[in-house]
């Protein structure tokens, strides 16, 4: 049962997908880069592939785009098998990190190039170019050369070149990574707005988990060429499939600590060791779920997001689950203040309101909100 559930969580099954990748593997010699990857999206989905550097995101995108030949498996776009189809015949448009604009062509010609290659008549081409330029707010730039543009403007032109084609599928490979932090956030919002307006089907690669959370309708988390979890941003954040996902998605990361978990009536009693001979922390989870209720008592790993450890009076916390904790380090971050506490043999992060007056070395009451606690197998790291 658990295995089936996990399997279901790790593949996205869809009845009428615009893209379906089935059992895809890619190797270079003996090096297995993608291992039996299956994923599908509906038209209008914004799928973000996220994972650490080298996990195979770009390779997967390359296979979908036809730039990388697959070793085994199958790729369908809108019901057509394109596994071995030439990239130009897949009805997709790609936007890369490097933008790859033609330096000797004007912005307008860059945007229209794909249409010209497809022998679209000039009048129709010009109409589409100006529509896209209006959409991206780059009309005044159409006669300029790429060298005369800022990074953000180049990024828009690269997007314009993709948008003008109106393809079945857009592929984006880290399109914002060359931009400075502020512009990244602005462009992120613009891409999201564009997606909402056009309802385009997008596959987007990033190693930035905030970009993934903010843009995606569906996230695929990868590690070492294997899909770890497929889900909405909320599912991935609230119910990570394993400790890797829990740790990778969210900033600061989810606190993972060792605890002794026993059933006490219908509640789970969670005992967390403290340092310096202090009494252990005893917490109660009223809704531990069948997976925990039916397990023998023993040590588990539990996951609590920083916002589940908070100051009194903030958010909806149960004041009964409140303990004095020594704040090792306090890090004010404007709207939030983060505090590091030593618990369960590790350092955990509490997220407090930015206006609480606390300093490193203070001992203050911290409330534990267990409504979104995660339990993980201590050996495999899988969600229980």
Ligand X SMILES: Nc1ncnc2c1ncn2[C@@H]1O[C@H](COP(=O)(O)OP(=O)(O)OP(=O)(O)O)[C@@H](O)[C@H]1O
CB atoms under 10 Å from CB of 296, counted, come to 7
Q: Judge whether 103 and 145 are in contact, CB under 8 Å.
A: yes
Q: Judge whether 65 and 90 are in contact, CB under 8 Å.
A: yes
Of residues 207 through 266, those in contact with ligand X by CB under 6 A are 207
User: Which one, 25 or 262, has the nearer CB to ligand X?
Assistant: 25
Q: What are phi and psi of 347, to 5 degrees?
A: -100, 130
Interface mask (CB under 6 A) for ligand X, residues 174-213, using x and -?
---------------------------------x------
User: Which one, 31 or 147, has the nearer CB to ligand X?
Assistant: 31
Binding of residue 90 to ligand X (CB under 6 A): no
User: Which one, 223 or 274, has the nearer CB to ligand X?
Assistant: 223
Asked whether the bond before 252 is cis by omega within 30 degrees of 0, the reply is yes
Of residues 1 through 30, those in contact with ligand X by CB under 6 A are 28
Q: Judge whether 176 and 210 are in contact, CB under 8 Å.
A: no
> How far apart are the C-alpha atoms of 309 and 325, rounded to whole Å?
10
User: Which one, 51 or 303, has the nearer CB to ligand X?
Assistant: 51
Q: How far is the CB of 177 from ligand X (least distance, A)?
A: 9
User: Which one, 52 or 286, has the nearer CB to ligand X?
Assistant: 52
User: Which one, 55 or 292, has the nearer CB to ligand X?
Assistant: 55
Of residues 43 through 82, those in contact with ligand X by CB under 6 A are 51, 53-59
User: Which one, 45 or 173, has the nearer CB to ligand X?
Assistant: 173
Binding of residue 33 to ligand X (CB under 6 A): yes
User: Nearest-CA neighbor of 185 among 162, 169, 208?
Assistant: 208
User: Which one, 56 or 108, has the nearer CB to ligand X?
Assistant: 56
Interface mask (CB under 6 A) for ligand X, residues 269-298, using x and -?
------------------------------
User: Which one, 136 or 158, has the nearer CB to ligand X?
Assistant: 158
Ranges of H-type helices in the chain: 2-10, 57-65, 107-117, 122-136, 151-163, 181-198, 209-215, 233-238, 243-248, 290-293
Q: How far is the CB of 33 from ligand X (least distance, A)?
A: 4
> How far apart are the C-alpha atoms of 170 and 125, rounded to whole Å?
20
CA distance between the termini of the chain = 12
User: Nearest-CA neighbor of 34 among 57, 11, 7, 9?
Assistant: 57
Q: How far is the CB of 207 from ligand X (least distance, A)?
A: 4
For 37-50, b/e burial (b = at least 16 CB within 10 A) is bbbbbbeebbbbbb
Q: What are phi and psi of 309, to 5 degrees?
A: -120, 105
For 194-209, b/e burial (b = at least 16 CB within 10 A) is bbeeeebbbbbbbbbb
| Residues near ligand X (CB under 6 A), total | 12
DSSP state of 281: E
Q: Which residues bind ligand X (CB under 6 A)?
A: 28, 31, 33, 51, 53-59, 207
């Amino acid at each position: 049962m658990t295995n089936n559930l996990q399997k279901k969580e790790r593949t996205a099954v869809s009845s009428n997908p615009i893209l379906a990748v089935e059992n895809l593997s890619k190797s270079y010699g003996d090096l297995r880069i993608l291992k039996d990857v299956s994923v599908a999206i509906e038209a209008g989905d914004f799928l973000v592939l996220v994972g650490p550097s080298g996990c195979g995101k770009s390779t997967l995108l390359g296979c979908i785009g036809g730039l990388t030949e697959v070793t085994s498996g199958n790729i369908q776009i809108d019901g057509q098998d394109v596994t071995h189809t030439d990239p130009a015949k897949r009805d997709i448009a790609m936007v890369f990190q490097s933008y790859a604009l033609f330096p000797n062509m004007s912005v307008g010609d860059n945007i229209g190039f794909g249409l010209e290659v497809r022998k679209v008549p000039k009048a129709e081409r010009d109409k589409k170019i100006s529509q896209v330029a209006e959409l991206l707010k780059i009309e005044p730039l159409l006669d300029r050369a790429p060298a005369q543009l800022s990074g953000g403007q180049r990024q828009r032109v690269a997007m314009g070149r993709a948008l003008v084609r109106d393809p079945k599928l857009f592929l984006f490979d880290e399109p914002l990574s060359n931009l400075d932090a502020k512009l990244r956030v602005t462009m992120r919002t613009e891409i999201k707005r564009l997606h909402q307006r056009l309802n385009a089907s997008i596959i987007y690669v990033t190693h930035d988990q905030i970009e993934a959370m903010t843009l995606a309708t569906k996230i695929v988390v990868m590690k070492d060429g294997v899909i770890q979890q497929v889900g909405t941003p909320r599912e991935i954040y609230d119910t990570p499939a394993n400790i890797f996902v829990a740790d990778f998605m969210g900033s600061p990361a989810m606190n993972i600590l060792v605890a002794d978990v026993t059933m006490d009536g219908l509640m789970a009693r969670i005992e967390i060791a403290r340092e310096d001979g202090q009494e252990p922390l005893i917490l109660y989870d009223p809704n531990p779920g069948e997976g925990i209720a039916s397990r023998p008592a023993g040590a588990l790993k539990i996951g609590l997001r920083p916002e589940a450890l908070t100051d009194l009076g903030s958010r909806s916390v149960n004041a009964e689950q409140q303990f004095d904790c020594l704040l090792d380090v306090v890090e004010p971050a404007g709207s939030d203040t983060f505090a590091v506490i030593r618990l369960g043999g590790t350092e955990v992060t509490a997220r407090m309101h930015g206006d609480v007056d606390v300093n490193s070395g203070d001992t203050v009451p911290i409330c534990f909100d267990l409504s979104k606690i995660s339990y993980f197998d201590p050996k495999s790291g899988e969600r229980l």
